[in-house]
A and B are shown apart, each in its own frame.
Chain A
Amino acid sequence: MTTKKKISKKDIGKLLGIWSQWFSVLVPSKEENVAKMVGWDGKDVSFLVWYRNTVVPPKANFLPPVEKMFSFQQNRHGYHVEVPQDEQKRLIFGIRPCDARGITMIDKVFVETYEDCYYLSKRKNTVLIGLSCTNPYDSCFCTSLGVKPTESADVDLMFTDIGDEFLIEEVTDKGKELLASAGMVKEATKADDAKAKTVQATVSGMVIRKVDTKDIARKLQACFSDRDYWEKVAAKCISCGVCTFLCPTCFCFDICDELVKKQGARYRGWDSCSFRLYTKMPMENPREEKWRRVRQKVCHKYQFYPMNFDVAACTGCGRCIRLCPVNWDVTQILSSLPASVTSRGDK
């Protein structure tokens, strides 16, 4: 067993200061009351008090809402293409276990078969420092999806709040290195470990929303063609992109060109399966109707993604519930799946 470390909460500013020498440090910050991971100003650690979770998940730091893929210019020899270079070393402090898991899930997609260099270059240059939850929202349901609010294997260092101090677990070697030159980091005692255990139990108990995820993929498969069910479930959905854009595991994107005054560039930006035009082809649209799009969203997370990667593409962060304009609650859907097809099939 590796020994754990600890640090006093009042030393966090100092620690971030040390890390700032090598990294661009990002911490939870509120801009117009919208919390997201942004560059640390070098002093403010008030997030240690107010921060529950960000509105914009940290996936945005790897797969930004809009990103320039390359710019191009035409000269007499043809096109000249230029790719923006982003070699900045980053450190994200305070990522929650659910969001860290979300990044692991997007990793799987962006690594397999073809490597997505835009995502992976940022990913490789970024260190993740996890921070345990102390006060989960009533919309959180992470424990139903195998995410523990105080533990994470998806980060480099994991900080657990044990009162006046943080217990630090060195999850990766990279994480270990980060602590090497930090004088304020001490060895943790058995008592600290025990405290952390208590915190873990307490906080897990605070996650009150539960979903029985066993068998969900099978149930979804069974009711895939149950049009009546999906129409009912989809009725109040307004087909906006809030749930998908702010989901820590959603990764869909669109690619488009821009040409203004002979300066051209190709961009990519978030896209959502909730949008009607997402799958629109000139003559056909396989998901023209709203219920098909809602079904796709649910099935992708809990049936299709697990078929490809053996795990549901949901971390129970609850953003889709908290932020939905019409309170469309996925946990209610998952709990109400019909056991078998009861209505007319499709088409």
Chain B
Amino acid sequence: MERKSEWEPAIAGFLCKWCSYAGADLAGTSRKKYPANVRVLKVPCSGRVDPLLILKALRLGFDGVLISGCHPGDCHYQAGNYRARRRIALTKKLLEYIGIPEERVQASWVSASEGAKFAQVAADVAKDIEKIGPNKLFAEEGR
């Protein structure tokens, strides 16, 4: 039914270097198949992910944003991911409120040993975003 198009979603993936980044690595080395749509950006902690980074990624035309950090309780810096959680939760909700589809901004907890989970998350996120199509939110010139 759906016409196959050239377009492939581009996803900005902010991955905590202590867990999800290693998780993504593991997914790669253990040959778990996951779509190549996630452009990985290594961050020192999910707590580093300023909402500005999320919005800037969308502003620059990324079709989606994935933030992934250590499971609650496992933060290398004790509470970075707890703080990230509040921030990301509010950002997601506010962006939804102004009309950015919730699929565009997603978050997950993936540990260094969860290569399979990362592959799954990446695939799911890519599928979600494929469904809603390319990000043209900021494309219109306007004034």
State the majority secondary structure of interface residues on A: loop
Q: For the complex, is A43 an interface residue (Cβ under 8 Å from B)?
A: no
CA distance A66 to B141 in the complex (A): 12
A-B pairs under 8 A by CB, number? 8
Interface residue total, chain B, C-beta cutoff 8 A: 4
B143 touches A260 (CB 8 A): no
Cα of A260 to Cα of B61 in the assembled complex, Å:
8
CB distance from A56 to the nearest CB of B (A): 13
Chain B residue, CB-CB nearest to A260: B60
Is A261 located at the chain interface by the 8 A CB criterion? yes
Tell me if B's interface is mostly helix, strand, loop or mixed. loop
- Output the least CB separation between A276 and chain B (Å): 21
User: 1/0 contact trace for A83-104 toward B, CB 8 Å?
Assistant: 0000000000000000000000
The total of chain A residues at the interface (CB under 8 A) is 5
Residues of B contacting A260 in the complex (Cβ-Cβ under 8 angstroms): 59-61
Chain A, 255-299, CB within 8 A of any chain B CB: 260-261
Does the CB pair B143–A261 fall under 8 Å? no
Which of chain A's residues have a CB closer than 8 A to the CB of B59?
260
Flag A59-74 by CB within 8 Å of B: 1 or 0 each.
0000011100000000
Chain A residues with CB under 8 A of B60: 260-261
For chain B residues 34-67, which have a beta carbon within 8 Å of chain A? 59-61
Task: Report whether A66 and B143 are in contact in the complex, using a CB–CB cutoff of 8 Å.
Answer: yes
Q: How far is the CA of A260 from the CA of B139 in the complex (A)?
A: 10
Chain B residues contacting A261 (CB-CB under 8 Å) are: 60-61
Show 8 A/B contacts (Cβ-Cβ < 8 Å), sorted by A: A64-B143, A65-B143, A66-B143, A260-B59, A260-B60, A260-B61, A261-B60, A261-B61
Q: A66-B143, A260-B59, A261-B60 are in contact. List 5 more A-B contacts (CB 8 A).
A: A64-B143, A65-B143, A260-B60, A260-B61, A261-B61
| Residues in B lying within 8 Å of A, measured CB to CB | 59-61, 143
